[in-house]
Each structure stands twice: as C-alpha cells, then as structure tokens.
Amino acid sequence: MSGRALAHRIGIRPQSIHYLLDPARNAQGSRHTSAIARVLGVSGDWLASGKGRPYEKGERQADPQEVVASCLASAKQLVADLERLIRLLEGKG
C-alpha cells in the first residue's frame, strides 16, 4: 500500500505518512499510530516500538477488499496526477 493510499484510508494528509516514514525526522510515533496499525493489519505496539511480533495471530492474510480499495485509490491518484501534469504542460496549470 502506498503512503498516499494509507493516508487516504485513515483520513489524514499524505505528508503526515511521509513525515513518519522519513528516517531523518526520527519520528517517535503519532496520534494516528493505532489507526495506521489497524489499516495495515499489524499490532499497534509493534508499529510504535518495533518490538514483539507484527501480527497478533499468525501471518496476516491480505483482505481482497482492502487490496482492491488500495488499488483504486492509487489509480485515482495517478489519474489526478496525470491530469495535473497535462494541464501544466499545456500551460493551464
């Protein structure tokens, strides 16, 4: 899942996800950690600390509905980005 798709699923700005993932920021967590963990299907404690196991009960199986939702969100974002690029190239941006 892309950072943008994850942000969309949680209802936050993609920049917030990028901030958390940037090693130079050394982010220590977020008030959104539990929501991020829920969407990713991992333990919130593991996500926050890196300790323990990421999955509570064995390996997580991909939820087909989540996969489709993620793909659709990514495709919509790609279309929007391409449309913005076309407007910029045409001088209408």
pLDDT tens profile 20-68: 888 888 777 788 888 888 888 888 888 888 888 887 665 555 677 777 7
Is the model's pLDDT at 12 over the cut of 60? yes
Quote the tokens at residue 74.
């990514």
Residue pair 56/43 in contact by the 8 Å Cβ criterion:
yes
Q: Which residue has the higher pLDDT, 21 or 84?
A: 84
* 16's tokens: 């917030």
Give residue 60's pLDDT.
59
> How far apart are the C-alpha atoms of 27 and 48, rounded to whole Å?
10
Q: Reply yes or no on whether the pLDDT at 89 is more than 90.
A: yes
Q: What is the pTM of this model?
A: 0.55
